[in-house]
Structure 1
Amino acid sequence: MWTIFWQSLLLASVGTLILRLGGRKSISQMTTPQLTIIISLGAILGGEVSAQGIGKTILGAATFVGFLVMTEWITLHWNRAEKVIKGEAVPVISEGKLLVDNLKKLRLSVDDLEKRLRMAGISKLEDVQVGTIEDNGEFGFTLMPHARPLTMGDLEKILKANFPQMNIPDSTNQDNIFTEVMTGSHTNKVPNQLH
């Protein structure tokens, strides 16, 4: 019985490592061959456990779920473990220019990146101040000042400039969530266990 537990734990670890090395596309962004490989990998890993009988199969499945819960708990409490297990955001655009070396590391073509830009409603690469591929494969970005839509902060500046007698509180902040990706450190107050 303990053999099934340790084999399941080993298979879950190896499966996680293989998927981690495989890349960072979410299921919705996978091509048919990539999805086929993921499903096949699940069948191969599961087949090792399922040929053992119902009790041992349940133990194996419980071990896989336990492994998932354990890795989520570990990544919630240790930032370094989160980076190793889940990965981290990788910048692919900076100041309107492609970061080609990072695209190569991610095995992401310019055409794939352009597809993500179009899906985000961005028509020019030059309009992107910072673009990242997040650990889940999604595209994150912030636009250059000239390409950003009008915000409350912009409206406040206009009102203050044109109506100085109005008391309008300042709601702008220079740091944002992309600062962490570009500098590698948190700029806001986040409890250590939630990095």
Structure 2
Amino acid sequence: MMPFVLKPIILFVSAVILLRITGRRSISQMTIAQTVVIISMGAMIVEPFADKSVFKTVVAAVIYIVLLIIFEYFEYHSNKFEKLFVGKSVLIIEDGKIIPENLKKLKLTPTELDSRMRQEGIKRMSDIKRATLEYNGELGYELRKGASPVTVDDMEFIINRILNNRGSNKHINLVEELNKKVDKKDSVM
């Protein structure tokens, strides 16, 4: 018979390994089947404690919490541990081209990738300079220069460049100008 304290440790480590094998998806990105498997695994993990006393169940829960804290500590302080148990971001698009072998490793279909791109507001694969699937299942991306939205800094640079070319010494700060406009609207109301 396995010692009581050892059982939750083995179950915790086993669950983490099994979840790593299933791929990188956050709960919101899982299919119904994947969600059922995760919930079932949770039920199976606690099942060995279901027929025991309340005290043993509480002890098991405390052990799980302590293991989670230890796990997160090592995840933060050890690159090898993080790579093995949590994972690192994986490059899936470079210069507008999918890297099929990385999609296959991640168990991510091109259709799922297209869906994630649409959720991020990306219309074309060619707009992406680099995209990664992060360890938490989220899509990280960098748009190519011509596909990036214009920022306030970009607009200030353009306006001030035009003003300087016209011989004006005036410098425009768009944020301040917008705040003045909002303040005027508020005072009128």
- Output the TM-score relative to the length of structure 2: 0.82
What are structure 2's unaligned runs of at least 5 residues?
Answer: 173-189
Partner of 1:93 in structure 2?
93
Aligned AA (1:91):
L
What are structure 1's unaligned runs of at least 5 residues?
Answer: 169-195
Greater gyration radius: 2
1:74·1:81 contact (CA, 8 Å) conserved in 2? yes
TM-superposed CA distance for 1:109, in Å, is 0.5
Report % sequence identity: 34
Partner of 2:45 in structure 1?
45
Task: Flag the structure with higher helix content.
Answer: 2
TM-superposed CA distance for 1:58, in Å, is 1.3
Q: Deviations over 1:70-117 (max 9, x none)?
A: 111111222322222211111111111111111111111100000001
Aligned AA (1:22):
T
TM-superposed CA distance for 1:20, in Å, is 1.1
Query: Counterparts of 2:96 and 2:161 in 1: how far apart (Å)?
Result: 29
Report how many aligned residue pairs link the two structures: 168
1:96·1:127 contact (CA, 8 Å) conserved in 2? yes
Would you say 1:155 and 2:152 are equivalent positions?
no
Decide which moves more: 118-127 or 69-78.
69-78
Would you say 1:28 and 2:28 are equivalent positions?
yes
Q: Secondary structure at the match of 1:150?
A: coil
TM-superposed CA distance for 1:158, in Å, is 2.0
Query: Counterparts of 1:153 and 1:95 in 2: how far apart (Å)?
Result: 25
- Cα RMSD for the two superposed structures: 1.9
Query: Counterparts of 1:84 and 1:166 in 2: how far apart (Å)?
Result: 56
Alignment of 1:55-94 (within 5 A): 55-94=55-94
Partner of 2:178 in structure 1?
none
Query: Counterparts of 1:144 and 1:9 in 2: how far apart (Å)?
Result: 46
TM-superposed CA distance for 1:51, in Å, is 2.1
Q: Deviations over 1:11-40 (max 9, x none)?
A: 101111111111111110111111111011
